[in-house]
Amino acid sequence: MAKTPLAPKAHCGCAALDASVEGARLATAVDPEIKKRNLARLRRIEGQVRGLQKMVDEERWCADVLTQVASVQEALRGVSRELMRNHLKHCSAAAVRAGPDEADAVYDELTDLMFRYAR
């Protein structure tokens, strides 16, 4: 089943709207070192996925391909952990400090995120 993008139930205050892209939201704050690490990780993952494509094209042994798929999935989980930590530290914390309405909205958002991606 395809996952739909999360839509906030109300403006939660944890994201600034990006005027250059209709409906796009920007993070409240991003640590430059975390961003640098995540981009490096994503580039490595991109290379791993290209390697997977080549393995499938070359009809490599299924167990080897599956091992590499698991490696990519774990690398993506690592990026997800970093993104969630940043979201909790900056975006969500700012929404909670903004007041009870913003806090309730971010609690709903976090609950949706946890249950959606904990499968």
Residue-level pLDDT at 9:
40
pTM for the model stands at 0.73
Among the CATH numbers 3.40.50.620, 3.90.870.10, 3.40.50.2000, 1.20.58.1000, which is that of 31-117? 1.20.58.1000
* Token reading at 69: 């798929």
Which is more confident, 28 or 74?
A: 74
Residue 21 above 50 pLDDT? yes
Residue-level pLDDT at 1:
45
Measured torsion, CA atoms of residues 75, 78, 83, 88, in degrees rounded to the nearest 10: 160
pLDDT in tens, 51-101: 999 999 999 999 999 999 999 999 999 999 998 888 888 888 888 899 999
